[in-house]
Structure 1
Amino acid sequence: MAALLPWLAWFIITLLAVYILNLLAQARRGLPPGPRPLPIVGSLHLLGNQPHRSLARLSKIYGPLMSLRMGSVTTVVVSSPEVAREFLQRHDAVFTNRSVPDATGNHSRNSVAWLPNEPRWRALRKSMGTELFSPHRLDALQHLRRDKVQELVHHVGRLASNGEAVNVGRVAFITSLNLVSRTIFSRDMTSLDDHGGSKEFQELVVGIMEAVGSPNLSDFFPALAGADLQGWRRRLARLFARQHRIFDTEIDGRLRGRETGEPRKNDFLDLLLDVAAKDDNTAGLDRDTLRSMFTDLFSAGSDTSSSTVEWAMVELLQNPFSMANACDELARVIGSGKSIQESDIGKLPYLQAVIKETFRLHPPAPLLLPRHAQVEIKIMGYTISKGSRVLVNVWAMGRDKAIWPEPDKFMPQRFLDRTVDLRGGDFELIPFGGGRRVCPGMPLAIRMVHLLLASLLHHFKWSLPVEAERNGVDMTEKFGVTLTKAVPLCAIATPI
């Protein structure tokens, strides 16, 4: 034991020396202010299980542009619209690349969400914008989504007639999943009734989102990434492989149908296969890229949309005045007994205000997807070093009392007299991000969220169970890639 003491002392001295040198180097680099890091772990101990809230509290001490050392990675956190504009608009080219989670493994090499800013990524983005998410393409496929919403209304109606509470997040998630699958494959990938093996795909999507959003030592200590100590990369690889087999079945079936002369469906799969078959396939739409694209669409399109609908319902149920205004507008504009069309959304300003207020209080991705500084750059007098990870805390921006009066209150009316573009033009509200990395599926997501919420409100009167009325609704959040409700909302629906 005595022989080990000199080695232990040497190790402690070396560790302290590295720590002190790191602090001095950080000061010399002129990084934004931030908490003093501990040896090895840096400021990881300050995050807790609600990092968006912890970082918001720290920003009140150190300012809207601060830096922290997360393990061995320098992380810059942006917490105000003015600073966000600097990073996502004025200096967008420097921060266009993503900081890729280690767990995504090979998937990131073909994913529009994670590919670096290079010709292939730009070609894929262009194809998505012109071939998939343009207004005329979405209009052409809206009948597929309308069918899914009618199924949702019928399912909730059956639960209501049986006296069963509705798990709003669950039915919204499954419907969102099928809205996406109808748009891509012209068929359902799961079922509201969970019959047969349809639940497998739903579980795959949930598993992938949970794995990507889980804290991973490999992201905080890149030198350890090769060991995959927590096994997230291996777990995700298995989930991706199972999901890709399902996608391959869809792709192979469609290709065989083309060979035998089956009628075209003109859905996303047909459109993408057309692009892949062109001689000038600059987007590089090979099989691996199609798989990754479908994974991104299902993950982003279902989880974020359903969580927004659930949070909106939670807020409306706790704010009867807002609920009454939304329902009155729907009855006046749509009319009793009529189904809502996507073209009706523009005629419903209060419903749009409800969605904006929900995005403000409960942004689907509270820290957006992380960016990566490609070069060293000076911003607002501070040095952002090359390789820094950049997080934009849109949750903190939505709760900033300097921007929003009474920021913790649900008040949709604040958006009736205030024009705010949630598509990335106004940095006070950027639930889909901003700049070149704004979410490419945003046009579809906006349609889906409004259609789902409007249909639930228009066809049913909603109330909380007696216990929730008496004890209050548990508003605890579950942090991950998306900010979901930890305790599902179960509400009572009564047909109108």
Structure 2
Amino acid sequence: MEELQYNPILVTLVFSLISILSLNLIFHKSSTKRNPPPSPPKLPIIGNLHQLSSLPHRSLHSLAQKYGAVMLLHLGSVPVLVISSADAAREVMKTHDIAFASRPTFKASKKLLYNCKDVGSAPYGEYWRKIKSIFVLQLLSNKRVQSFRWIREEETALLVNKVRQASGAPVDLSAMFATFTNDGIARAAFGKKYSESENGNKFLRVMTDLMEFLGVINIGDFMPWLDWIGHLNGFYNRLDNTAKQMDHVLESLIQEHLDPNDQHSPDFVDILIQICHEDASIQRDCIKPLLLDVFVGGTDTISTALEWVMSELLQNPRVMEKLQFEVRGITKQDQEIRDGDIEKMHYLKAVIKEAMRCHPPFPLLGPRIAREDVRVKGYDVAAGTMVMINGWAIGRDPASWDEPDKFIPERFLNSSIDLRGQDFELIPFGAGRRGCPGITFSIVAIEIVIANLVHKFDWKLPNGEDLDMNEIPGMAAHRVVPLLALASPISE
């Protein structure tokens, strides 16, 4: 028999092949041990994008009812974990808060928010901790919020007078709430109303465009190979124009505060300018996104919440009468409503909580991103996965709420559940490190307006018509049509 010849090249190839097969077997075996969240079937290239409607919180809710409260979608090339229950939200925002403490970056937020240098979209880290501390201490601390009480009271009185001057004609509450919120926040942060000047009106118009861009799904963020579409359809051109206009307005605002001839009481802008002078790490382009945070995080939250509270009161006369009985019993007709009065209005607080449960101003909380591999409710979530928490779905989860589709404020009268991020059944402001820092600022404004409107007026819908309770597409869930109502002043 002829002897086999030793061939070192052949031996090396065989050894390499065996090694590769062994490694593949090992990795395949380990990967099969992973337990990914359930996913709906996806299409090539676009993944599950075709399953999102113009109201994604509703379509995600429908998918979650079939695939579970922890569900993995693929939006183009981006894996997205969708959370639709209080227990799962608790794991993301409390148990694994640090693992999910960062934000994904999108082209619109990078362009409009100065490369994500604002509190809402900045990546988790030292810079974010510093600017959040500045934002909270200088504008949103309890002490600061209390110091703005006189502004809230003056703006509320103006709102009440506008309603009274309607003389029986329907009033556009949606427009009035927007003006109240914009003027109140502008006075607190910028030292003056912005609706009273041309520059201010320009700012508000540009802010409307900014909010629209931040709420739009840009196909290039999820399918980079289709990024050219944004150039072809003019999306990026419009985005650039809005960013330039916004920067011009903010620069003008800062220059006004730097003018030694401009006499005004120190405000948030002055504080930021002073910090910029004292801290080399805080540049001019850090001041501007913080000013945007004031409006992005405040105006839509408050005005949208006011719209939905009054919508539900008009839709539910029994609740309206019960709230009026409480408010008018605590504060007599010839008295002004004080903070101490509102603290006694337990049904008012229950009404606001119930409206926030049914209609969170931002149905999908700010997206997060997994900074590391982590397990949520027993499922493996890979680092880099985007996380979307469906606050709207959580508020309507029958596992947490009896008769979730009904407006029943009484459910909160003997309940310790609050909306400040400790009870995950009710998280309209989010929770954890990335929860909204303006909760107190928003709640006190909502309370004083609603208390005054039900205290001083009887309300009904024009011609007894039914309300359209649908939301408009966008980041904030405004009503699809403005809220019109008839107000009758009660006798002095």
Distance 1:241 1:29, change over 3 A: farther
- Of 454, 461, 478 in structure 2, the residue corresponding to residue 464 of structure 1 is 461
Query: Does the aligned pair in 1 maintain the 2:139–2:189 contact within 8 Å?
Result: no
1:479 maps to 2:484: no
Partner of 2:164: 157
Partners of 2:186 and 2:270 in 1: how far apart?
Answer: 13
The 1-side partners of 2:264 and 2:202 are apart by 27
- Is residue 336 from structure 1 mapped to residue 333 from structure 2 by the alignment? yes
Counterpart residue number, 1:277: 277
Amino acid at match of 1:76: L
**Matches of 2:339 and 2:189, distance apart in 1:** 18
Which residue in 1 is equivalent to 2:16?
none
Equivalent residue, structure 1, for 2:24 = none
The residue aligned with 1:291 is: 288
The yes-or-no answer on 1:246 pairing with 2:249 is yes
- Contact map agreement 1:145 1:183 (CA 8 A) in 2: no
The answer on whether the counterparts of 1:102 and 1:225 sit within 8 Å (CA) in structure 2 is: no
- CA deviation after TM superposition for structure 1 residue 213, in Å: 0.6
Using a 3 Å threshold, how does the CA distance of structure 1 residues 297 and 388 change in structure 2: closer, same or farther?
A: same
1:147 CA displacement: 1.6
CA distance, structure 2, for counterparts of residue 265 and residue 142 of structure 1: 16
Distance apart, 1:186 and its partner CA: 1.7
Contact kept in structure 1, 2:421 and 2:427, CA below 8 Å: yes
SS of the counterpart of 1:478?
A: coil
The corresponding residue for 2:230 is: 228
Q: Following superposition, which runs of at least 4 residues in structure 1 exceed 6 angstroms of deviation? A: 24-28
CA distance, structure 2, for counterparts of residue 409 and residue 317 of structure 1: 14
Q: Cα distance, 1:28 vs. partner?
A: 7.4
Matched ranges for 1:10-409 at <5 A: 30-106=35-111, 107=113, 108-159=115-166, 161=167, 163-190=168-195, 199-225=201-227, 228-229=230-231, 230-257=233-260, 265-278=265-278, 281=279, 284-409=281-406
Gaps of 5+ in 1: 1-23
* Of 483, 487, 492, the match for 1:493: 487
Structural RMSD (CA): 2.2
Amino acid at match of 2:178: F
1:457–1:238: structure 2 CA closer, same or farther, 3 Å change rule?
farther
Find the aligned partners of 2:31 and 2:428 in 1 and give their Cα distance. Answer: 32
Equivalent residues of 2:109, 2:121 under 8 A apart: no
CA distance in 1, matches of 2:204, 2:338: 26
Gap change, CA 1:222 and 1:112, over 3 Å in 2 = farther
Look up the SS of the partner of 1:403 in the other structure: coil
Assess, with a 3 A threshold, how the Cα gap between structure 1 residues 26 and 451 changes in structure 2: closer, same or farther.
Answer: farther
Q: Is the 8 A contact 1:145 1:182 kept in 2?
A: no
CA distance in 1 between partners of 2:457 and 2:106 (Å): 42
Question: In the alignment, residue 212 of structure 2 is paired with which amino acid?
Answer: E
Unaligned residue ranges in structure 2 (runs of 5+)? 1-28
Letter in 1 for 2:350: A
Alpha-carbon distance between aligned partners in 2 of 1:459 and 1:120, rounded to the nearest angstrom: 47
Q: 1:373 to 1:216 in 2, by over 3 A?
A: same
Task: Write the letter of the residue equivalent to 1:236.
Answer: L
What SS does the corresponding residue of 2:64 show, helix, strand or coil?
helix
Change (3 A) 1:42 1:352: same
2-structure distance, mates of 1:178, 1:304: 14
Distance in 2 separating the partners of 1:27 and 1:492 = 63
Q: Report the CA distance shift for 1:219/1:341 in structure 2 as closer, same or farther (over 3 A).
A: farther
Contact 1:190 1:201 in 2 (8 A): no
Task: Report the alpha carbon displacement of residue 71 of structure 1 after superposing the two structures with TM.
Answer: 1.4
Q: Is the 8 A contact 1:34 1:62 kept in 2?
A: yes
The letter for the 1-side match of 2:277 is A
Q: Deviations over 1:264-296 (max 9, x none)?
A: 613222332332232xx27x4322111111112
C-alpha change, 1:27 and 1:176, in structure 2 (3 Å) is farther
Q: Give the C-alpha shift of residue 442 in structure 1.
A: 1.9
Alignment partners' CA distance in 2, 1:105 and 1:73: 18
The number of aligned residues is 459
Conservation of the 8 A alpha-carbon contact between 2:462 and 2:485: yes
Residue pair 2:216, 2:474 contacting (<8 A) in 1 also: yes
The residue type paired with residue 128 of structure 1 is F
Opposite residue 147 of structure 2, the aligned amino acid is: A
Cα–Cα, structure 1 residues 222 and 90, in superposed 2: closer, same or farther, change >3 Å? Answer: farther
Return the alpha-carbon distance in structure 1 between the equivalents of residues 228 and 109 of structure 2.
13
Confirm or deny: 8 A CA contact 1:141 1:267 kept in the other structure. no
Aligned-partner Cα distance in 1 for 2:108–2:78: 16
Q: Which sits farther off after the overlay, 262-271 or 367-376?
A: 262-271
Instruction: Give the share of equivalent positions with the same residue, in percent.
Output: 36
Q: Which moved more, 1:103-112 or 1:167-176?
A: 103-112
Give the Cα separation in 1 of the matches to 2:336 and 2:205: 30
In 1, Cα distance between the equivalents of 2:162 and 2:308? 20
Deviation larger for 212-221 or 74-83: 212-221
Residue in 1 that maps onto 2:421 = 424
Taking the aligned partners of 1:110 and 1:402, their CA distance within structure 2 comes to 38
Q: Is the 8 A contact 1:166 1:493 kept in 2?
A: yes
Contact 2:109 2:116 in 1 (8 A): no
Residue 72 of structure 2 aligns to a residue whose secondary structure is: strand
Contact 1:105 1:233 survives alignment (8 Å): no
CA contact (8 A) 1:368 1:392 kept: yes
Q: Which amino acid aligns with 1:124?
A: I
Deviation at 1:157, TM superposition (A): 1.4
